[in-house]
Amino acid sequence: MPPDATASDASAQALDPDRFADALLQALSREGMSQRELAEHLGIRQQSVSGWINGRARPSTENLQETLDHLGIDWDTVRRRTLPLPTRSDTRETTVAVYTDVRASGGPGFLVGDVDGDEARRLSTPKEILAALIGVWPSDVLGGIYVVGDSMVDPNAVSGGLPDGQLVLFEPADAVLSGHRHVVSVDSDAWGPRVLIKRLHIGLDGSLVVASDNPLAEVPAERLLPDAMGGMTHAETGRPVDLAVVGRVVWPRESDDERTVKSVTRAIERLVETGVLR
């Protein structure tokens, strides 16, 4: 989308809710305007504006454009940053590496083994078979890792989130797609090395929020700030944090029901163990 594009050029569905909420809060503070005053200007209820900020609602394209214009927010700063989907390459097979000796925690996190090592059981399978199973066309390489803990369980998701023991497939990536679940490798003086599955959110100030999906797990979100050396520091402790994105979760999909996830998990594990789908 060109730099001078506006929200009216695309559906409001192209809005990144996290970026919009951050920009809206900053603009309201900058302009000294309350949520109620913005709502009155737009001719809507204050609850609607509050819903935009807490992520429970989306503005219509008309209200979005009027809000951006009224508060001087650039559309390019709040639109969704999407990465191109994997295309059908000439490679007809996907290599799946399932790390049996590495567990990715959704909670405090820990690392057993080496994510880049040889602990994985590897399988090459036709993409058509894997695509039929997971519901998306796979890239040439996928990683598989098992979840430890229940902090990524989501009672509001159709799939139920990622419970303890769930196999997760991830596409290798070194960039964050805000709002999505990722596999990350984290090392810090305070925590030591960990492999985590978390939902990552990018702030307008370049901060990175590492969050869980399950409020009952009582695992607090951690906010990391960029430092002058190109690294990141913990917002509360000020300690340096070495975080690397290992990959982006592509399966289970959040729209899959729990029964489907369980049956597909068994099928993938059967493939990995025997190379034969039954």
What does the pLDDT read at residue 102? 60
Residue 141 · residue 246 · CB < 8 Å: no
Statement: the pTM of the whole predicted model exceeds 0.75: no
What does the pLDDT read at residue 260? 92
What does the pLDDT read at residue 276? 53
Tell me how far the alpha carbon of residue 141 is from its chain's centroid. Answer: 19
What does the pLDDT read at residue 221? 87
What does the pLDDT read at residue 190? 54
What does the pLDDT read at residue 273? 79
Q: Which domains does the chain have, with CATH numbers?
A: 7-77 (1.10.260.40), 93-274 (2.10.109.10)
Largest CA distance in the chain: 64
What does the pLDDT read at residue 160? 87
What does the pLDDT read at residue 278? 37
What does the pLDDT read at residue 275? 65
List the beta bridge partners of residue 154. Answer: none
Q: How far is CA 14 from CA 3, 79, 250, in A?
A: 15, 6, 20
Averaged over successive runs of 10 residues, the pLDDT of the chain (278 residues) comes to 47 70 86 92 91 80 90 83 44 80 52 46 85 89 87 84 91 86 77 78 88 86 83 85 86 90 91 65
What is the per-residue burial (b if ≥16 Cβ within 10 Å, else e) of 215-237?
Answer: eeeebeebbbbeeeeeebbbeee
Query: Closest by alpha carbon to 165, among 254, 97, 253, 266?
Result: 266
Helix crossing, 35-42 with 61-71: angle to 10°? 120
What does the pLDDT read at residue 193? 67
